[in-house]
Structure 1
């Protein structure tokens, strides 16, 4: 999902347009050339909220859990996100 970048001034002039676009893709609002906020759909926001992470300690894992984690490998599709590691 490509993020659309728009200046704060342009966003203010056409807020309705960018609200509509945010239903299908994130809209990053820039200030002085830097992203300051991102507008996303309420559906996407709720999806992200549901994915809040729970912190677990080592004692929360069984030996089988640890073995499964050691054997886990990312799917080939995950390579699409390698560029994010370089940021």
Structure 2
């Protein structure tokens, strides 16, 4: 695994190069000489986060239990705004 560093300008001008480099390791994208972002392959991201889902899983609505939520009414009134 090798890391690659690109400036923001290089990243914007050649995203294909960045995507290819991300297959071999993280791609650090700098802004004004300082690391600002990291580009990872989806496989590496899933490995790091422990998420192994596919796009269908992400788009599916989860089955959530019913939740009773009681929100009390607000009793205070809005104050008039002085626009003078």
- Please give the TM-score of this superposition, normalised by the length of structure 1: 0.55
Matched with 1:45 is 45
**Matches of 1:5 and 1:12, distance apart in 2:** 13
**Matches of 2:18 and 2:39, distance apart in 1:** 8
**Matches of 2:14 and 2:20, distance apart in 1:** 10
Structure with bigger helix share is 1
Aligned-residue RMSD, C-alpha: 1.4
Is structure 2 residue 29 aligned with structure 1 residue 29? Answer: yes
Q: Which has the larger radius of gyration?
A: 2
Is structure 2 residue 41 aligned with structure 1 residue 6? Answer: no
Kindly state the Cα deviation for residue 49 of structure 1 after the two structures are TM-superposed: 0.7
Q: Runs ≥4 in structure 1, deviation > 2 angstroms?
A: none
> Structure 2: which 5+ runs fail to align?
52-84
**Number of equivalent positions:** 51
Kindly state the Cα deviation for residue 21 of structure 1 after the two structures are TM-superposed: 1.0
> Structure 1: which 5+ runs fail to align?
52-87
- Please give the TM-score of this superposition, normalised by the length of structure 2: 0.56
